[in-house]
Amino acid sequence: MALVQSHPGVALLMMQTLSQRLRNSAAMVQERAIRNVNEEIALETTLGDRITDAFVGVFSNMRFMAFSVVLCVVWLLVNSGLLPFVHIFDPWPFALLAVVLALEMMFISLFILIKQNRQAANDQVRNDIEYDVNVRAEEGVRSLAKQVDTLQQLILEHLTTLDTFTKAQQIRDSRPAADKVRE
């Protein structure tokens, strides 16, 4: 404290040194840990994954739902005999419609399950990268803490030396003039 009070510039130098070390540690962590999750996932995407994404994109929107509803209504109108000028190709109980809808549901379910499995794998990649970043950040923080402790120890040693020097000088200054002349 005596050093900082007598030389305020030392405190600024200490803060500057600590800030620079913190910036260096942060840069090292970023340099080592930066991996773009989207790039990692894109590297693992296969043709089957892209096809699945396309089908899920088609099946999981309101246009597909509207198309399915319209198709079912038209199918029922055509095959119920309400339109006299149209030939019935799937009479009551609409077995062909049931098969078509069951196949549609089966394929949609499969594509959604495949997409969910891939999403779980992507989440695992994200979690691994996040864990890696956290470990490296922790290493950087520990390294910085060690550096701060070392700097603190050095400052304490310098302050002790300065205090001893100051006390010796005070003792020398308080001696009688005759003793000073002999020196």
In the numeric block, the tokens 């930066």 are attached to 34
- Tokens representing 149? 């402790």
Residue type, 174: S
In the numeric block, the tokens 């510039």 are attached to 9
pLDDT, tens digit (0-9, with 9 covering 90-100), for 24-49 = 877 776 665 556 666 666 667 788 88
Side-chain half-sphere CA neighbours of 117 within 13 A: 10
Distance CA 56, CA 35 (A): 28
pLDDT of 127 higher than 90: no
Domain ranges of the chain: 2-32+48-162
Task: Classify 45 as helix, strand or coil.
Answer: coil
Which ranges constitute the DSSP H helices of 7-94?
8-33, 37-43, 47-59, 62-79
Quote the pLDDT of residue 79. 93
pLDDT of 96 higher than 90: yes
pLDDT of 166 higher than 90: no
The answer to whether 21 touches 152, Cβ cutoff 8 Å, is no
pLDDT range class, residue 107, cuts 50, 70, 90: very high
Q: Over the chain, what is the mean pLDDT?
A: 83
Quote the pLDDT of residue 154. 84
Whole-number percent of the chain with pLDDT over 70: 87
